[in-house]
Amino acid sequence: MDKTFTVQILLSIATVLAAQTSLSHYWHKLTDKTFTGVYHANAFDLAMMIPYFLVLFVLAAYGLHRYWLVYDYYMYSKNVPGPPPEVKNWPRVTVQLPIFNERYVIERLVEAVSRFDYPRELLDVQVLDDSTDETCQVASACVERHAAQGMPIVYIHRTNREGYKAGALENGLKTSQGEYIAIFDADFIPEPDFLRRTIPYFVDPANGPKIGMVQTRWTYLNRDYSLLTQVETILLDGHFVVEHGARSRRGTFFNFNGTAGVWRRKAIEEAGGWEHDTLTEDTDLSYRAQLKGWKFLYLPQIECASELPVDMNSFKAQQARWAKGLMQTAKKILPRVLKSDAPWHVKAEAFFHLTANISYPLMVLFSAMLLPAMIVRFYQGWFQMLVIDLPLFLASTCSISSFYLVAQRELRPKNWWRTFLYMPFVMATGIGISVRNAQAVMEAIVGKKSEFARTPKFNIEGKKGSFAGKKYKNKAGWMPYAEVLLGLYFAGTIVYAHYRLRRHQRQLRHHPVSAPLRLGLPLHRPHVPRPNLLRSSPLRRQRPGNAPRRHRRPWLLNSGTGSVVSALSSIWSCGAGWSARARVFWAQDELNSAVGIETDRLFQINPV
């Protein structure tokens, strides 16, 4: 943490010093009338740049929020719950297992719950089945088999699926007997001591009566199955380690994740029960309960294994459902939060949490404006790049890397550095799902309803197993074509940036004013319009005795090195235009200075 803050402080100091040392030069460029008329902003430029920077500022704000979460995570690192006291009288607990067409994993889940070491007389298990296929027979037979062995388990089947998962949970509460409600999705495998480790926090005489929900941390059975599951692990670890950790430590609102958690029944009832007008019923209930004064507890030391989606379409469907559901919850709950008497930092965190997915449509819009903005801004100077673009880039893009790297360092301190190898794929995945998620967010904003698209699982653990030939695959539809078009657009942007850079490098090598700078001065700028008198001026600077030697070029003008540097920086930043513009900006500033010196000297002798 100290090294991270040191690097950030040094970057800030370097930016300020660079700005101060160049202010006079930049002011001279603004007031110099030598090249008046060469460029003037027109209506098209303004129409592109104003939305461009507005979108970039919003994305940067959400990026800075990620930095703030990392700060809170370390700042309040001591605000973690200690071990609970020993329990003498265990309360009654209901375990709810909501499923829908989960023939491959339902038996595994029931088997895991049957191994709970909680007192059997204080436990009742409900299999809440809304299935429409052979899962009904598989689940029913599994329940009968375990019930015959003495397990307190019942099978509840609905045929209308009203309210989807929220409706099934609400229906199960009508016949449940427990004071506390533990919920597990079909693809989870809780440990036998799960209830014995979570329930004591509720019955703690000191703080227990205020606790309405306890959430545990997810782990992953098939993390190493493929590159996709590796990326999913990094994404979810960032949520469970940094987001949940920072919010719970700071005391702000955070959400129940729909599974691997325990609710106090009274908290559910006082909050108004399960409602199904959003696709994230868990977040909806979480905020309503916390607005009623209930406290939530996050226990990262208690793990619950789960299965990650192994199919790209299933993963995108899951992410789209979460994105749409959070935006629906924001429309429903955020006005209540802002009107409540909660502290300002709780309201601010709730705003950024619930509206974070607005970044997806903004990302698509920003991507569409990237190429026109690059064309419009091609002749702007390095000062704008340093003062405006660089801070926004660090805020909007680099915050993502630091966010997930911190999470991996906390979980895997010995080999967390390997996450660097996956960061390009994490960034690419975020861009790849932006089109689908943007559609979901816009549907939530305009109020378009959709079904609860569950994420199918195939009982895959480790690197074994396959989903080929199995049911429940999500259909891709037209979305892959839109994603391919976006990828082609990015590729065209990279090609254009490289073409412009190479073109200006060639112009610069043949520019008369660049000759003395090849002697070793830092030359980094392409050709700009200048008075024609310079072409025949005897005052043009030449190397004494000989013409400039073309083979002695600065390293930035070396074709091989420049191409490699441009490609590497472009790939890492997920936008080659930024790195190309940066190099051209620095080159152009040096050449403008040289042209200005020559013009001033010429006009002193030959005044117009």
Write the DSSP assignment of 412-445 as a string of letters: -TTTGGGHHHHHHHHHHHHHHTHHHHHHHHHHHH
Q: Does 282 qualify as catalytic in the annotation?
A: yes
Terminal-residue alpha carbon distance, the chain: 61
How confident is the model at residue 308, as a pLDDT?
A: 95
Order across the sheet with 188-189: list the strands: 153-157, 123-129, 93-99, 180-183, 261-264, 211-220, 295-306, 188-189
- Give residue 603's pLDDT: 38
**3-class secondary-structure state, position 292:** coil
What distance in Å separates the CA atoms of residue 39 and residue 228, rounded to the nearest whole number?
47
Q: Judge residue 382's burial from the number of C-beta atoms within 10 Å of its C-beta, 0-12 exposed, 13-18 middle, 19 or more buried.
A: buried
Which pLDDT does position 39 carry in this prediction? 52
Q: Which phi and psi (to 5°) does residue 486 adopt? A: -65, -40
Angle, helices 399-411 vs 43-75, to 10°: value is: 20
What confidence score (pLDDT) does residue 505 get? 73
- What is the number of residues in the chain? 608
Is 311 catalytic? The answer is: no
Domain ranges across the chain? 1-31, 42-87+194-254+280-449, 485-605
Tell me which of 72, 129, 130, 389 is the catalytic residue: 130
- Which two three-digit tokens encode residue 196? 């014995």
Mean pLDDT by 10 residues, the chain (608 residues): 58 55 51 53 79 90 94 94 91 97 94 96 96 94 96 95 94 96 97 97 90 97 94 96 97 97 97 95 98 97 95 91 96 97 96 96 89 76 70 80 93 92 91 91 93 82 72 72 83 83 72 50 44 39 46 36 35 41 44 43 38
pLDDT at 563: 34
Q: Which residue among the candidates 187, 282, 311, 589 is catalytic per the annotation? A: 282
Residue type at position 592: N
Q: What is the pTM of this model?
A: 0.78
